[in-house]
Chain A
């Protein structure tokens, strides 16, 4: 396959100009972010023993949002002591009672959804429409779902009982701060465990705001403890002797470190790591809807999604047509202030992540792939990256194999279903995949041969609390959501 293809100048094109520009429409609801947050341990906000705080800035404009406590080993120990003490009575509570707390949390989250959505967007950079229409409703849905399970656990595995594990250490990423918190905390509490949770360094604010919901819900002290900090804090959470299990969502590199450090211990481990999902488009697919799915697959949350459809595998005979449609669609995507309700692609989460994306995009150019970026004006302040397509990508390119975690799509072609499967599975990851075809039998055949935890057919990025989520190979192990997710937080006896 040639690395570069010359594009034939189009004889006629559509004009996506400024005849009718949308005026700025920023969300105006207040986020109620406090100037300084302590650690949430044993039902109280306390100052860290390290006496250190770090700044949380908004990737939207690089302005400081709040000071976040830096938890040291002694703070993490205090959190685990609280969690272990709380576990004694929490595990004995009837499931229906635990369920009541979870229902209460879910409802309180719904009540304050707008405020939390704005905070999530300010802190993480994702478009307000996404935090409002996806993150918050899904987070509440996870609490509702698991609240319903809390008194029905005896029916989960007929003839056997679920026994909670103890104090669980949970480390979550920065791409869906509140939603990942919900994915972690809801099943842990439903099954009778207690929690020490560490949010990501750049996105701690919604987790700390969530602590106020726990207080409002009257959750017993110590059942959920939130410690903030960077890698060292995370290591302290993972390596603490009182941890019965570690649940981690994040990069494959850190996942490997955690697995190393847990080797030889009795701690359980579930990992939800990176991905490089293939989105496979056959020539009989509804192409315009496939374009929509591809756009949703890679540009949702600026591509900061572990299951993002980062590799587009398109049947060669429709590749030119599909690429042209994609480029036209890209021209109408709006990049900019995430707080604006008309923004489709918001801010990159952090300076480091922006640098990583820029570096990998440069490698794509250097390795000979053809880059396409629509003309778009990026805000002067803040971390932004335009939606990017690479065509003429080969399996050997870095942009075809490494997780970029940004709004960058690599387009590869295939000729036969066998070749599509071979290329799709030719990756160290296996978290998700997409299949686009008008033919149902082809969907079933592909789904059975793709080594991926989730396969979406004629859609992408559909989630539900009842559907287990997790990966193959270096995308991790263990499942979150559904019955499978609950079983990962309990011992069957």
Chain B
């Protein structure tokens, strides 16, 4: 099946690095930036603790 993605006008939701948002915006594409960061700063042990506490209720 032919991929039409790059032939159509794109609307972009950017998560994470703001520089990606700026690049897309500079090219005139509609784009929104979501200020997202990984929970607990991405610390795997802390994420595990948070998940387990929620499981325990």
Do A and B interact with each other, yes or no?
A: no
A-side interface residues toward B, CB under 8 Å? none
| Chain B residues in the interface with A (C-beta under 8 A) | none
